[in-house]
Structure 1
Amino acid sequence: MTTMTTRTVEYPADGLTMVGHLAIPAGVGRRPAVLLGPEGPGLNDVQRRRADALAELGYVALAFDINGGRWFSDPEEMMAYIMPLLDDTERMRGIGYAALDVLRAEPRTDPDRIAAIGYGTGGAIALELGRDGVDLRAIGTINAVTTGRPGEAANIRCPVWAGVGSEDPIMPPAQREAFAAEMQAAGVDWRLVVYGGAEHAFHHPNVDHAVRPGVSHHPLHAERAWRDVVGLLAECLPVTE
């Protein structure tokens, strides 16, 4: 019995050499594919394992990089790097398009059946690809209910699912409401799930208040959010032989 395979992929984006993780499902034919974006500190084994899990489900999955292979362990250093990126729509889109090109170039990828899932900064990048009119089958974001430039959400051509913790100080109720208003005004098929009692980065293991106030792991909601992501893909991007 064949199993999924993985490989490291290097590619240029944002003036850096990005180091992504590509997971390929068993089999030979083309498969639907998923861009998987990491949170601000960077790409680590948590997201690599998520890409592997998606490949086990039959998807070609690229866990893409945003920091040129770096992992920021210091929160202040990470914020100093990430905030200018989040304020620069074109940089975010450039990082997303570079990853999309890598995913589309994989022979096992069905280029007409791609979804974008992102956590934190990676989720903001997924949304910006949608706002730029990329033909995606679904967009899913966790901890990223970011709004875009006026009117551009009307370019989103697929369902959008967003998950956020009720106690997330980085994505507070006002931000959630602004995101919902943007999606609704644009006529997007959107859903927002608020996970009660969860803080920022609730999906990520080994996160606690020693890192930053308002950031902590919530194991139960982490499992629920993953099931919600898989359900979104099953609905919008089913794996068929």
Structure 2
Amino acid sequence: MTTVTTRTVEYAADGLTMIGHLALPAGVDRRPAVLVGPEGTGLNDFQRRRADALAELGYVALAFDIHGGRWFTDPEEMLARCIPLLADPDRMRGIGHAALDVLRAEPRTDPDRIAAIGYGTGGAIVLELGRDGVDLRAIGTVNALTTGRPGEAARIGCPVWAGVGSEDPIMPVEQRDAFAAEMQAAGVDWRLVVYGGALHAFHHPPVDQTVLPGVGHHPQHAQRAWRDIVDLLAECLPVTE
């Protein structure tokens, strides 16, 4: 296994002190880099391990924070923060840009080769970076088929991959259709994978806490979605030794 170095990084965003998780591959050379956005509950060890896994593949990876170091166990408290955030593209972009600045400032990062992936709220944030015209090599989202302000998707200059569960009540068929229509009208190179039988947050291992209705883990599809994201990165942001 490749030796991975990790460290905590603190930075300001959205009026909070964010606490991200940076994972570096072995070596000293510059590498392609990936932003990793967490779901609405916040950054936890699951997403930190995703960053570590990407570093093992040779990427610099930053799992960014969205709640100032908090991880919500109360769904109502999480919604109280996330619903206004998801309704405000400029706030989402601010959180994304702050994390992107941290990633770009890392000496191991090749600033011209950056991709962004995200889950739920984190996926909505990386989509907004694309709509803001950020130079990304790829965008990948799971459970985040959010649409943006009219016309701004035309600024997305990279392939977009999105995954969603067929039984996700939070991202229903109507939302899928709206997302697909937005991407198509903007001329984006987009893909949408619907994982049969999966609920919202199907990628996330079970947690011992109250969850929203319609949330549930699907182990097979979780692995498939991760492989699809790794394939997206291999296609659009290959690691060259």
After TM superposition, the score normalised by the length of structure 2 is 0.98
Deviation at 1:211, TM superposition (A): 1.6
- Which runs of structure 2 are paired with 1:157-196 in the superposition (5 Å)? 157-196=157-196
Alpha-carbon offset, residue 25 of structure 1: 0.3
Segments of 4+ moved more than 6 angstroms = none
Shift, 1:2, TM fit? 6.7
Moved more, 229-238 or 210-219: 210-219
- Number of paired residues? 241
Query: Quick check: 1:134 aligned with 2:138?
Result: no
Q: Using a 3 Å threshold, how does the CA distance of structure 1 residues 2 and 169 change in structure 2: closer, same or farther?
A: closer
Question: Per-residue displacement from partner, 1:153-181 (whole Å, max 9, x unpaired)?
Answer: 00000000000000000000000000000
Separation in 2, partners of 1:188, 1:209: 38
Aligned match of 1:107: 107
> What is the Cα deviation at residue 209 of structure 1?
9.6
C-alpha distance in 2 between matches for 1:71 and 1:209: 12
Equivalent pair of 1:44/1:71 in contact (CA under 8 Å): yes
Do residues 70 (structure 1) and 70 (structure 2) align? yes
Contact 2:195 2:221 in 1 (8 A): yes
Residue in structure 2 matched with residue 38 of structure 1 by the alignment? 38
Equivalent position SS for 2:110: strand
User: Equivalents in 2 of 1:100, 1:213: separation in Å?
Assistant: 33
SS at match of 1:118: strand
Residue aligning to 1:61: 61
What RMSD, in angstroms, separates the aligned Cα atoms of the two structures?
Answer: 1.2
- Residue 20 of structure 1 is matched in structure 2 by 20
Whether the 8 Å contact between 1:207 and 1:215 is mirrored in structure 2 is no
Helix, strand or coil: the match of 2:32?
strand
Distance 1:33 1:185 in 2: 29
Alignment correspondent of 1:51: 51
Q: Is the 8 A contact 2:199 2:215 kept in 1?
A: yes
What is aligned with 1:118?
A: 118
Q: Which runs of 5+ in 2 are unaligned?
A: none
Partner of 1:199: 199
Q: Is the 8 A contact 1:3 1:25 kept in 2?
A: yes
The residue type paired with residue 14 of structure 1 is: D
Is the alpha carbon distance of 1:208 and 1:186 closer, same or farther for their aligned partners in structure 2, counting shifts above 3 Å? farther
Q: Alpha-carbon deviation of 1:208?
A: 8.3
* Residue in 1 that maps onto 2:231: 231
Listed as ranges, the matches of 1:146-157 within 5 Å are: 146-157=146-157
